[in-house]
Structure 1
Amino acid sequence: MLEKLSSLENEYRTLEAQLANPAVLSNQQEYGRLSKRYAEMGSLIAAIREYKKVLSDIAEAKELQFDPEFGEMARADLEALEPRVPELEAQLERMLLPKDPLDDKNAIIEIRAGTGGEEAALFAAELRDMLIKFAQMRGYKPEILDTSLTDLGGVSKVSFAINGPGAYGLLKYEAGVHRVQRVPATETQGRIHTSTATVAVMPEAEEVDVQLDPADLEITVSRASGPGGQGVNTTDSAVQVLHKPTGMIVSCMESRSQIKNKERALSILRSRLLEIKRAEEAAKRREDRLAQIGAGERSEKIRTYNFPQSRVTDHRIGFTTHDLEGVLAGDLSELHEALKKADQERQLEALSQSA
């Protein structure tokens, strides 16, 4: 393991030297590529150096443990340091797991109201706001693609993009069925209702990922409707794309530009087709339960938001927090750290079983 860690440190030092090279500085594309890798390695290198320092301190303490003057201090150091070795090794094992290359992509998110009528639509709108706030807190840029509003301000369905490197890796844990338990505003007798909304999270597919045959597409345009000001209804900007082989229909009308709406609709279609392909591949393998944590099965109930007890429970890992208000305000950090750790532990378990 130490040899591999030293190799990574050497790579990091090489990157530092390259980033200071004037020839690299003048090449924006190369500088961007190296900077990204350098930033990605930062936390890993910090963990490696901490691990090596602990090993060095242990070796030094062992040499001094029987010294008449420093022995007692050295033995106390050993008692504190030795339990840290397996902890740091487990941390490094998780950090060295292979990364899904799709994690770096933008994310396309589709939320649909499920069971519960208008209450489900209101909950879907809250989930939209929660995920957008979470992404914004992390520095990502949201972009609404298509929305179907209800009379009381809910959404029957909404699709939006989260743009920025690593957006899909951040948000993939949100895929699945979200359940809310509360007294709806429309309830006159104070009864608690249970409603659901479905969240699909897809890596944004590019043309290189999924190639579309124009003969398979039927594209129609129409006047946009809904929010967007007076100009939204004056041009044929809304775009609907029918994918004939699958019968899949994608619409986009949020922009006043027909060209942009068409590009976005095709992007959503490619992302859906990529997700179908990935699901089929996962079904063939089935050795990786990560599909239920990472990619997320749309039929699986993943989380419950219980308003009477101010409780949020993620059923995949048995995680519960009583900060319901904070979660709905976009503070998903603690929850996502727990999901990420569980995800890594399952990958390690799968690797050990296949070894």
Structure 2
Amino acid sequence: MLEKLESLEAEYQALERQLADPAVLANQSEYQRISKRYAEMGHLVETIRSYKEALTHLAEARELQFDPELGEMARADIAALEPRIRELEAELELLLLPKDPLDEKNAIVEIRAGTGGEEAALFAAELRDMIMEYAKQGGYRVEVLDTSLTDLGGVSKVVFEVSGPGAYGYLKYEAGVHRVQRVPATETQGRIHTSTATVAVMPEAEEVDVQIDPADLEITVSRASGPGGQGVNTTDSAVQVLHKPTGMIVSCMESRSQIKNKEKALSILRSRLLEMKRAEEAARRREDRLAQIGAGERSEKIRTYNFPQSRVTDHRIGFTTHDLEGVLAGDLSKLHEALRKADQERQLEALSTASKTA
């Protein structure tokens, strides 16, 4: 353990020296890469140093605990330091858990109305607003890529990009089936209906992540339709991409630029293909429940929004809050904190089990 901590601290010091190197300063991409890693390690190294300092003070106190003059003070230090060291060890255990490299990527979010007709479309629109607001609270940039609206203001489908370091890791717990229980505005007899919407959260795949053969694509352009003002309807800017090997179809029409729409459509396609690849890998290791909280399978019912009781329940961890209004307004911080904690506990449990059977 200590050897690993020493190695990490040495890496941090090396990064510090590199950031002062004129050659690195002259290379902007290398400087950004090193700066990012340096910033990521800051809290970890601070914890490592606190841990080492506490160990040193504990060793000194133990040497003095039977000293006639300093023994009482030393024993008081031991009583305070031992639980502090256990706390630091637990914190380091969490900080040293392997991180998903995809967590740092931008995110593509796709929301579709499920069962429930127009009520499901209205609920999908509320989920769109909720997730977008939560993303903005986290300092991320949101750009709508594709939308299909319904007559009453709902959405049958909406796709948007969330940009910024760590966007996918920030939003991935929203993936899955969301369920709402309430009396719809269209219900005349006051009966509670249950409707659903699916949320897919995908790490934005770059060309290096997923290779697409241009021969596998069929790209068509058409005149954009729907909201967007007069300008968007005067050019053939809407783009539809068919990926022939999988049959996937992606459309994008939000921009007035055909080139930009094509780039965004291909980005969505790459992200879907990457998600498909990850789903296949997850299926092969289905017996390992380690990643279930963050798996975000489209068929997994993850959360229920119950309006009569103003209750939101996340079924993955049994978390319940009665602040329905706050959650739908984008206040997902407590919910996500509980999900991350549960995810970390499962990872620790899996690592502990693996070490025992090794």
TM range (shorter): over 0.9
Task: Find the residue that maps to 1:82 and give its secondary structure.
Answer: helix
CA distance in 2, matches of 1:53, 1:205: 42
Contact 2:290-2:350 at 8 Å conserved across structures: no
SS at the partner of 1:83? helix
Deviation at 1:280, TM superposition (A): 0.8
Q: Tell me, in whole angstroms, the C-alpha distance in 2 between the residues paired with 1:290 and 1:298.
A: 18
Q: Could you list the structure 1 runs, at least 4 aligned residues long, displaced by more than 6 angstroms after superposition.
A: none
Q: Conserved in 2, the CA contact under 8 Å of 1:201 and 1:295?
A: no
CA-CA distance at 1:200 after TM superposition: 0.5
Deviation of residue 125 (structure 1)? 1.0
- Counterparts of 1:200-215 in structure 2, within 5 Å, are 200-215=200-215
Q: Which stretch shows the higher mean deviation, 153-162 or 38-47? A: 38-47
Q: Distance in 2 between matches of 1:322 and 1:42?
A: 36
- After superposition, give the CA deviation of every residue in 1:206-233 in whole Å (9 maximum; x if it has no partner): 1122222222211111111122111111
Query: Which residue number in structure 2 is paired with residue 254 of structure 1?
Result: 254
Q: How does 1:1-355 map to 2 (within 5 A)?
A: 1-355=1-355
Q: Distance in 2 between matches of 1:324 and 1:208?
A: 41
Q: CA deviation at 1:287?
A: 4.3
- Which SS does the other structure have where 2:295 is aligned? coil
* Backbone CA RMSD of aligned residues: 1.8
Q: Which piece of structure 1 moves more, 203-212 or 156-165? A: 203-212
1:264-301 deviation line (CA, Å, top 9, x unaligned): 11111111111111111111122432442213111011
Q: 1:80 to 1:145 in 2, by over 3 A?
A: same
Q: Is the 8 A contact 1:113 1:197 kept in 2?
A: yes
What is the identity, as a one-letter code, of the residue corresponding to 2:271? S
| Alpha-carbon separation, structure 2, partners of 1:351 and 1:83 | 23
Note the alpha carbon deviations across 1:301-320, whole angstroms, 9 max, x for none. 11112223332221111222
Contact 1:288 1:347 in 2 (8 A): no
Pick closer, same or farther for the CA change 1:160–1:290 going to 2, 3 Å: farther
Taking the aligned partners of 2:169 and 2:287, their CA distance within structure 1 comes to: 20
SS of residue paired to 2:143? strand
- Unpaired runs of 5+ residues, structure 1, are none
Map Cα deviations across residues 94-150 of structure 1 (whole Å, 9 max, x no partner). Answer: 211222221121111100011122221111111111111111112211110000111
1-side partners of 2:69 and 2:190: how far apart? 73
Which segment is superposed worse, 292-301 or 181-190? 181-190
Q: Which amino acid aligns with 1:286?
A: R
Which has the larger displacement, 186-195 or 110-119?
A: 186-195
| 1:46-90 deviation line (CA, Å, top 9, x unaligned) | 221222233233333333434445444443333333223333222
Determine the C-alpha separation between the residues in 2 that align with 1:291 and 1:106: 20
What is the distance in 2 between the residues matched to 1:321 and 1:53? 40
TM-superposed deviation, 1:350: 2.1
Contact in 2 for aligned 1:291/1:297 (Cα 8 Å):
no
Q: Which runs of 5+ in 2 are unaligned?
A: none
Instruction: Give 3-state SS (helix, strand or coil) of 2:330's partner.
Output: coil
Identity %: 85
Asked if 2 retains the 8 angstrom alpha-carbon contact of 1:303 and 1:313, the reply is: yes
- 2:16 and 2:322 map into 1 onto residues whose CA distance is 44
Work out whether residues 287 and 350 of structure 1, in 8 Å CA contact, stay in contact via their aligned partners in 2: no
How many pairs were matched up?
355
Structure 2 contact 148–155 (Cα < 8 Å) conserved: yes
Equivalent AA in structure 2 for residue 221 of structure 1: V
Q: Using the alignment, how far apart are the partners of 2:183 and 2:32 within structure 1?
A: 51
Deviation at 1:190, TM superposition (A): 3.2
Q: Is the 8 A contact 1:107 1:163 kept in 2?
A: yes
In the alignment, the residues of structure 1 paired with residue 312 and residue 244 of structure 2 have an alpha-carbon distance, to the nearest angstrom, of: 41
